[in-house]
């Protein structure tokens, strides 16, 4: 399976994917920012890189058309958003329908968009986490592939909560890509996504606060 990864910054989720020994070919890592540190990481792993600056284009549609053309040169089976800080046009998203996935630092559908950790703390939730989902024209609303939850601790700050969530991002994003590469991702007629061989019967449930709290 051929994969193209899109990044804008440090590329920590991209690094987790590159180091996960997945049965895929990483065809290219593309960034909209030439200064993105993730480009250096990709090059160090022997993955071709490219830069397509969004500021060189008059509008989102023009940029997305050029970006799609660059991606399509590699004929990918899957396009991964790994910290790609751009809202993509409907035409772009539909062009890669069911082949475009993203990871979001919240338990969707809760807290779509930005500042998820600050908003989670302000809301007083007891569980927070991250979601791997397929991308659709509605931002952060696509079918969910996998989620991981972490407890929200009484002394958490946005930074400490973000760090704990990021550990789980690095865990579940490679997991989701492996399922996709192995052909285990199943689409139901109602638009929901399941994983062949997966079951909810034996899943542990994270409860916070713990039921045995003093």
Q: Which residue has the tokens 């070919």?
A: 25
Active site residue 128: no
49-51 and 25-31 beta bridge pairing: parallel
Query: Is there a contact between 29 and 8 (Cβ–Cβ < 8 Å)?
Result: no
Catalytic residue (one of 45, 54, 95, 104): 104
Q: Helices 116-123 & 158-181, crossing angle to 10 degrees? A: 120
The Cα–Cα gap between 51 and 6 comes to: 10
| Rounded Cα–Cα distance for residues 171 and 63 (Å) | 31
From the list 153, 144, 157, 159, the residue with the least C-alpha distance to 110 is: 144
Asked whether the beta carbons of 125 and 153 are under 8 A apart, the reply is no
Query: 160: left (phi > 0), else alpha (psi -120 to 50), else beta?
Result: alpha
The pair of structure tokens assigned to 165 is 């969530």
Name the residues annotated as catalytic: 104
């Amino acid at each position: 399976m051929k994969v193209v990864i899109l990044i804008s910054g440090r590329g920590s989720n991209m690094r987790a994917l590159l180091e996960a020994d997945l049965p895929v070919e990483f065809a290219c890592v593309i960034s909209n920012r030439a200064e993105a540190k993730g480009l250096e990481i990709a090059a160090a792993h022997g993955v071709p890189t490219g830069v397509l600056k969004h500021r060189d284009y008059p509008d989102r549609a023009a940029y997305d058309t050029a970006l799609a053309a660059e991606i399509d040169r590699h004929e990918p089976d899957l396009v991964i958003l790994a910290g790609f800080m751009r809202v993509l046009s409907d035409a772009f998203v539909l062009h890669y329908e069911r082949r475009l996935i993203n990871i979001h630092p919240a338990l969707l559908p809760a807290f779509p968009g930005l500042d998820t950790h600050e908003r989670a703390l302000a809301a007083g939730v007891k569980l927070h986490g991250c979601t791997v989902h397929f991308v659709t024209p509605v931002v952060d609303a696509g079918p969910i592939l996998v989620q991981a939850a972490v407890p929200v601790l009484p002394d958490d700050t946005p930074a400490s909560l973000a760090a704990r969530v990021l550990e789980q991002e690095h865990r579940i994003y490679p997991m989701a890509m492996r399922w996709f590469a192995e052909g285990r991702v199943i689409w139901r007629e109602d638009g929901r996504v399941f994983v062949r061989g997966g079951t909810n019967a034996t899943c542990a449930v994270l409860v916070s606060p713990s039921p045995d709290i003093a």
